Structure 1
Amino acid sequence: MSRIRADLLLVLAAFIWGTAFIAQKNAGELMGPVTFVGVRFLLSCAALAPLALYEGRYSGSPLKKGDLLLAGLIGFCVFVAAALQQVGLATTTATNGGFLTALYVVLVPVFVFAQTGVRPRQVVLVAGLGSIVGAWLLTDSAQLQSWTSGDALVLIADIAWAAGISLVPTFLARTDRPYFLAFAQFGVIGVLGTVVGLGGEPFSLEGLIAALPSILYAGLCSGGIAFTLQIVALKYTPAAEAALIMSLESVFAALSGVILLSERLTGPAMLGGVLILLSAVLVEAGPAAQNIWLTQYWTWLAQVWSRAR
């Protein structure tokens, strides 16, 4: 697969995640947040089972004990991230949650450097800062609201997201089994989420039935499709640059709110969306274009930030 195709898969994944935010918000009002995470990923696991079985039958890459442990670790990281994010979003404001969730973009290069010793390119760092400024502008009038315990949970979730994303290329370098990784990851999240959720949250069959449309969309599309696309693409796109592309999720979430919930975007919010888009485009540009644009982009970014403060 070419790099451009992998990047397009990441854009599609970001689009699905952005539109799934409404489903997650709806389900969170009908059932326990961790239970929802468990049920949706059990559905994702079932959806990936045929592909994982087919891959295992024809793949020339046998799985070793270390591969299974690494897949389990990735699944655990994503479980912690998804569960804490879902719980945090129930107790924090949408303004704070949207901005804090985007911070994982700058954490991924840190985790990659810690694992591999490879320093991120300058363009990745500048684009990462641009994405964070864009996420800030996407909040309500570029102002965070009063902090709650949910904000801390979302921040911890960012660390877990970054850890999980940065470990995927390591797994794929060991064995070329992306569908197995998706299947194993979903299985770990589904089992942990269901056990923890049913053990500590109230449960009702009526709430489960009412949340079924959200569970189906989040389980089949956001989980089964988008997370799998992410895993496949991370074999060809460096994790730090993939995180920047996936930050488009916040832009798609804002647009879906406008289209589906009749929400309005302010001028600063639209500028924030443009910044995130330009940040993703910047890492896609060739080396010659990056050298020309980098200084100009950095200057413009500083001007935008000074005006938004």
Structure 2
Amino acid sequence: MSRIRADLLLVLAAFIWGAAFIAQKNIGDLVGPISFVGIRFLLSCAALAPLALYEQGRSASPLNRGDLALVGLIGLCVFVAAALQQTGLATTTATNGGFLTALYVVLVPVFVFAQTGVRPRQIVLVAAVVSIVGAWLLTDGALQSWTSGDALVLIADIAWAAGISLTPTFLRRADRPYFLAFAQFGVIGALGAILGFAFEPISQEGVVSAMPSILYAGLCSGGVAFTIQIVALKYTPAAEAALIMSLESVFAALSGVILLDERLTGAAITGGVLILISVVLVEAGPILQNIWPAQYRSWLSQMLSRAR
């Protein structure tokens, strides 16, 4: 897969997650947040089973204990992130939740550097700051009064960043993206179901009423978006992938306009444009490298050397 195709997959994932934000925000009255996470990811796990089995049949070497332990750690990170975010959305506002979720963009480069010692490109750090400013403007530059839910969403950012940065590590060790998705969903679904059913009230009527949101979150947001994110992270560096996925907040705002008849202010529109600019900043180099013929890149390099 080319870098451009991988980046387009990440844009698609961000679109699916942005559209799911409204459904996830309003699910709390029907199903408990942990139960919702468990049910949706068990559905995602079932959807990925055929692809994982197909990949298993074509794999040349089995996974070792270290690989399985890493899969379990990634699944645990994503479970903590999803559970805290879903719980936080019950008490935080959509404005605060959207901005605080976007903060994981600046954490991913930190986690990648801690794991690999590889410093992110300077343009990535600049783009991350631009993206955060854009997310701030999407809130009209004024966060509403803070609640405990805001703290949970903020802590969830740490877990999201850890899960995203660990994924390329597994893919370098074992080229098994569909197994990673399947096993990760299984870990999250099992933990969510066990803890949710043990500590949260649940009713058949509530699950049935929430089923449209569960199906979208399980099949589209989980089964499709999370899986293509994992596949794309093999080709797009984690820090840069996080910036592309920050488009989720833009798509969430647009979903509010389309589905809830909300209106975007001038500040919110400016914020969305800044997030788009941050994505363009990190993508311009790889795209131009793929588009420009090698001889022109060599010529430009020689000209810059002479200018120095």
Tell me the TM-score normalized by structure 1. 0.92
Superposition pairs of residues 103-252 of structure 1, within 5 angstroms: 103-139=103-139, 141-252=140-251
Deviation for aligned residue 1:68: 0.5
Superposition pairs of residues 250-265 of structure 1, within 5 angstroms: 250-265=249-264
Query: Structure 2 unaligned runs (5+)?
Result: 290-308
One-letter amino acid of the counterpart of residue 252, structure 1: F
Deviation for aligned residue 1:24: 1.1
Residue 87 (structure 2) aligns with: 87
Deviation for aligned residue 1:289: 7.9
- Matches of 2:26 and 2:57 in 1, distance apart? 39
Quick check: 2:3–2:286 contact (8 Å CA) kept in 1? no
- Matches of 1:97 and 1:25 in 2, distance apart? 9
Quick check: 2:4–2:287 contact (8 Å CA) kept in 1? no
Q: Are positions 1:23 and 2:27 aligned together?
A: no
- Matches of 2:233 and 2:36 in 1, distance apart? 26
Deviation for aligned residue 1:92: 1.2
3-state SS, counterpart of residue 225 of structure 1: helix
One-letter amino acid of the counterpart of residue 208, structure 2: I
- Matches of 1:17 and 1:40 in 2, distance apart? 14
- Matches of 2:152 and 2:232 in 1, distance apart? 28
Point out the structure with max Rg over C-alpha.
2
One-letter amino acid of the counterpart of residue 58, structure 1: R
- Matches of 1:41 and 1:273 in 2, distance apart? 30
Residue 47 (structure 1) aligns with: 47
Moved over 4 A (4+): 287-290
Moved more, 194-203 or 155-164: 194-203
One-letter amino acid of the counterpart of residue 144, structure 1: L
- Matches of 1:218 and 1:227 in 2, distance apart? 10
- Matches of 1:127 and 1:25 in 2, distance apart? 28
Quick check: 2:101–2:154 contact (8 Å CA) kept in 1? yes
Pair 1:180–1:289, CA change in 2 (3 A) = closer
Q: Residues 175-224 of structure 1, C-alpha deviation per residue, up to 9 Å, x if partnerless? A: 00000000000000000001111111111110000000100000000000
Q: Are positions 1:97 and 2:97 aligned together?
A: yes
Residue 297 (structure 2) aligns with: none
- Matches of 1:235 and 1:249 in 2, distance apart? 20
One-letter amino acid of the counterpart of residue 48, structure 2: L
Q: How many residues align?
A: 289
- Matches of 1:241 and 1:72 in 2, distance apart? 24
Pair 1:269–1:120, CA change in 2 (3 A) = same
One-letter amino acid of the counterpart of residue 253, structure 2: A
Residue 33 (structure 1) aligns with: 33
Pair 1:281–1:61, CA change in 2 (3 A) = farther
- Matches of 2:165 and 2:63 in 1, distance apart? 20
Residue 75 (structure 2) aligns with: 75
Deviation for aligned residue 1:287: 7.3
- Matches of 1:98 and 1:61 in 2, distance apart? 42
- Matches of 1:61 and 1:29 in 2, distance apart? 46
Superposition pairs of residues 259-298 of structure 1, within 5 angstroms: 259-286=258-285
Q: Residues 72-92 of structure 1, C-alpha deviation per residue, up to 9 Å, x if partnerless? A: 100000000000000011111
Quick check: 2:6–2:235 contact (8 Å CA) kept in 1? yes
Percent identity, please.
83
Quick check: 1:26–1:214 contact (8 Å CA) kept in 2? no
Q: Residues 39-64 of structure 1, C-alpha deviation per residue, up to 9 Å, x if partnerless? A: 00000000000000000011123211
Q: Residues 127-150 of structure 1, C-alpha deviation per residue, up to 9 Å, x if partnerless? A: 0000000000001x2101111111
Residue 13 (structure 1) aligns with: 13
Residue 304 (structure 1) aligns with: none
Residue 65 (structure 2) aligns with: 65
Q: Residues 10-48 of structure 1, C-alpha deviation per residue, up to 9 Å, x if partnerless? A: 000000000011221232221101100000000000000
Quick check: 1:26–1:211 contact (8 Å CA) kept in 2? no
RMSD: 1.3
- Matches of 1:275 and 1:14 in 2, distance apart? 16
- Matches of 2:26 and 2:59 in 1, distance apart? 40
One-letter amino acid of the counterpart of residue 40, structure 1: R
One-letter amino acid of the counterpart of residue 50, structure 2: P
